[in-house]
Structure 1
Amino acid sequence: MWRYSYFLWLFTVCGLWGTQAQNQEPSLLDQIANHQQQWFRYTAANQAEANAKIDRLKESIEGQLQAQQVKTEIQQHSLRNVMESLKAEIKPKIEKMIKDIEDLKNAIVDQKSFNSSLQRVPPSNLFENIGSRYFYIEKHDTVTWFVAFNKCRRFGGYLATINDEEELQAITKRTTEDSYWFDFNSLAEKGKFFSTRTGERPPFTKWRENYSHTTDDGCVVAFKLEMYAIDCRLKHFFICQSDQ
């Protein structure tokens, strides 16, 4: 009987001890281990999320760089096309300007050279009184503006400028149905006409109505009381004026 009571007591004590062990809080080491596991899981998750964000950012940056590179290549190609177009457009104009300058330099010959190599024709034999001044009207040979410039100098005068409407009408009455070179031109600056004799603006112009004279052509002719700016190398008659 006593033996049975002992085993019953032992069984009860062991059961209570087991229950107490189950209800006992985890030890400090267990808590630390548990927190470490949670921290590792948290850190790993954050690291994975950060890596994913970095990968997405890298892909976005690479895409933007590729798009910018394509855009830059397109812009460079367009710029090359524009430069080639401008070069093709400007080169002939520069060549023409150089040619005009050379022609003008050749036309403006030093007066001493004329005196030593050419016999001037007396103005009284060539120039006629028209209005208040004297003019020579060429009616036989058509020449370029540059040749006309030289011929007027040889005759002892200059390519003519017109002072007013009355003088233009008086001169036109003595001309044929042709075009005649006058003095002023825009060889120095496109669209701006100056007298080669005075270096100033001409005192009078009469451009044809609705006609744009701000073109690449730079020498002036008159036809039927109206003026035009045309290529200086074309051939026309000309009008000289005398200071005498």
Structure 2
Amino acid sequence: MNESNIITLFVVQIVSICSAIRTNEGAYTKIGSKYYYIEMEKKLMWSTALEKCQILGGHLAHLESEKELAAISEHLDQGKWYWVDITDVKSEGEYVSSTTNRQASFFRWMDGDPNNKNNNEHCVHLIYYKSKFFMNDLACDSTISYICEMD
């Protein structure tokens, strides 16, 4: 392959990558000060949702306040559950953001949670209960909807 062909191939790949990034950005909606992609149809396990968000140029949603949760809640289907970026899979009871690799700082737990039911609930999701969304621990291999966030 000569130098001209290599340069042409390189340019084609760059254009393709830029096009894919633009497409992914188009899937995100600005809610408050952040951009989110809310997947309501495809249900994935937590780890697969994490990978999918990375493919889309983001990460699982990292909620940091009541205000943020309230804003995104307006865009969620009350009948669905949604993965967020919190897990205690490495150490029971120590909830860490997969985005920051630090202890999560914001929680709105449902009454009685987290409870690690059957010693198998290590990933956090949003669930609608008593007219608002709460956080609940759930088995990471459960397949539910998910929320991606792009910085």
TM range (shorter): 0.7 to 0.9
Residue 138 and residue 191 in structure 1: after superposition, are their counterparts in 2 closer, same or farther (change >3 A)?
same
Aligned to 1:218: 122
1:38-117 matches, cutoff 5 A: none
Task: State the percentage of identical aligned residues.
Answer: 28
Q: Distance in 2 between matches of 1:212 and 1:124?
A: 33
Q: Which runs of 5 or more structure 1 residues have no equivalent in the other structure?
A: 1-114
Letter in 2 for 1:218: H
Aligned to 1:159: 60
Q: Which runs of 5 or more structure 2 residues have no equivalent in the other structure?
A: 1-12
Higher relative contact order, chain-length normalized (CA < 8 Å, sep 6+): 2
Q: Distance in 2 between matches of 1:149 and 1:174?
A: 20
Per-residue Cα deviation, 1:70-111 (whole angstroms, up to 9, x for no partner): xxxxxxxxxxxxxxxxxxxxxxxxxxxxxxxxxxxxxxxxxx
1:1-244 matches, cutoff 5 A: 120-122=20-22, 123-176=24-77, 177-214=79-116, 216=119, 217-224=121-128, 225-243=133-151
Higher strand proportion: 2
Higher helix proportion: 1
CA deviation after TM superposition for structure 1 residue 235, in Å: 0.4
Structure 1 length-normalised TM: 0.49
Are the aligned partners of 2:110 and 2:134 in contact in 1 as well (CA < 8 Å)?
yes
Provide the secondary structure at the position in 2 that maps to 1:211: coil
Over aligned residues, Cα RMSD in angstroms?
Answer: 1.9
CA deviation after TM superposition for structure 1 residue 156, in Å: 0.2
Are the aligned partners of 2:32 and 2:71 in contact in 1 as well (CA < 8 Å)?
yes
CA deviation after TM superposition for structure 1 residue 121, in Å: 4.2
Letter in 2 for 1:232: C
Provide the secondary structure at the position in 1 that maps to 2:26: helix
Q: Distance in 2 between matches of 1:219 and 1:196?
A: 10
